A and B are shown apart, each in its own frame.
Chain A
Amino acid sequence: MKQIERGIFTFEAPPSINAFSAVVGKKEGEGPLGNYFDHIFTDTKLGQDTWEQAESQLQTEAVNRTLKKANCAPEDVSLLFAGDLLNQCIGSTYGLRDLGIPLFGLYGACSTMAESLALASLMTASGAVSRTLAVTSSHFCSAERQFRFPLEYGGVRTPTAQWTVTGAGAALICAEGNGPYVAAVAVGRIQDLGITDVNNMGAAMAPAAADTIKRFLSATKTAPDDYDLILTGDLGFIGSSLLCELLRMDQFHIEQVHNDCGKMIFNRETQDVHGGGSGCGCSASVLCSYILSGLRSKRLHRVLFAATGALMSTTSIQQGESIPGISHAVLLTASKEDIPWNY
Chain B
Amino acid sequence: MNLSPTQYEALVKRASPKSKAPKTILCAFLIGGGICVIGQLLRSWFLSSNISETHTATLVAASLILLSALLTGLGVYDNLAKYAGAGTLVPITGFANAVVSPALEFKSEGFILGLGAKIFIIAGPVIAYGTIASVIYGVIYWLFTAAF
Hey, which bits of chain A sit against chain B, CB under 8 A?
49-51, 145, 149-160, 193-195, 200, 203, 207, 238, 241-242, 245-246, 249-250, 322
Contacts and interface: CB of A to CB of B under 8 A. Distances in A.
The 3 closest A-B pairs by CB, nearest first: A154-B81, A194-B5, A150-B105
Contacts of B15: 203, 238, 241-242, 245
Contact of A152 (B1, B8, B105): B105
Contact of B105 (A145, A158, A194, A195): A145
Interface residues of B, number: 36
Nearest to A248: B1
Q: Is the interface of B mostly helix, strand, loop or mixed?
A: helix
A200 B100 CA distance: 28
A242 B19 contact: no
Given A149-B122, A151-B101, A200 B16 contact: yes
A154 B9 CA distance: 29
Contacts of B124: none
Interface in B99-125: 100-102, 104-106, 108, 121-122
Nearest to A141: B105
Contacts of A149: 101, 122
28 contacts: A51-B108, A149-B101, A149-B122, A151-B78, A152-B73, A153-B97, A153-B101, A154-B81, A154-B82, A154-B97, A154-B101, A155-B78, A155-B81, A156-B82, A159-B19, A194-B5, A195-B9, A200-B12, A200-B16, A207-B8, A238-B16, A238-B17, A241-B15, A242-B12, A246-B3, A246-B11, A250-B1, A322-B5
Contact of A159 (B16, B105, B108): B16
Nearest to A49: B108
Given A150-B101, A151-B105, A152-B97, A245 B11 contact: yes
Contacts of B78: 151-155
Interface in B1-25: 1, 3, 5, 8-9, 11-12, 15-19
A149 B118 CA distance: 11
Contacts of B18: 159
B75 A152 contact: yes
Contacts of B36: none
Given A145-B105, A150-B121, 7 more contacts: A150-B102, A153-B102, A159-B18, A193-B3, A195-B8, A245-B15, A250-B1
B29 to A, nearest CB: 15
B94 A154 contact: yes
Nearest to B82: A156
B58 to A, nearest CB: 24
A253 to B, nearest CB: 14
Q: Is the interface of A mostly helix, strand, loop or mixed?
A: loop
A20 B84 CA distance: 43
A195 B7 CA distance: 12
A245 B102 CA distance: 41
A157 B83 CA distance: 10
B100 A152 contact: yes
Contact of B17 (A159, A195, A249): A159
Interface in B58-109: 72-73, 75, 77-78, 80-82, 84-85, 88-89, 94, 97-98, 100-102, 104-106, 108
Contacts of B104: 150-152
A155 B101 CA distance: 11
Contacts of A246: 3, 11
A152 B77 CA distance: 7
A189 to B, nearest CB: 14
A193 B73 CA distance: 41
B94 A160 contact: no
Residue with the greatest number of chain B CB neighbours at <10 A, chosen from A49, A152, A193, A203 = A152
A139 to B, nearest CB: 13
Contacts of A156: 81-82, 85
A160 B16 contact: yes
A149 B75 CA distance: 14
A200 B16 CA distance: 8
Contacts of A322: 5
B17 A154 contact: no
B9 A194 contact: yes
A158 B5 contact: no
B69 to A, nearest CB: 10
Contacts of B97: 152-154
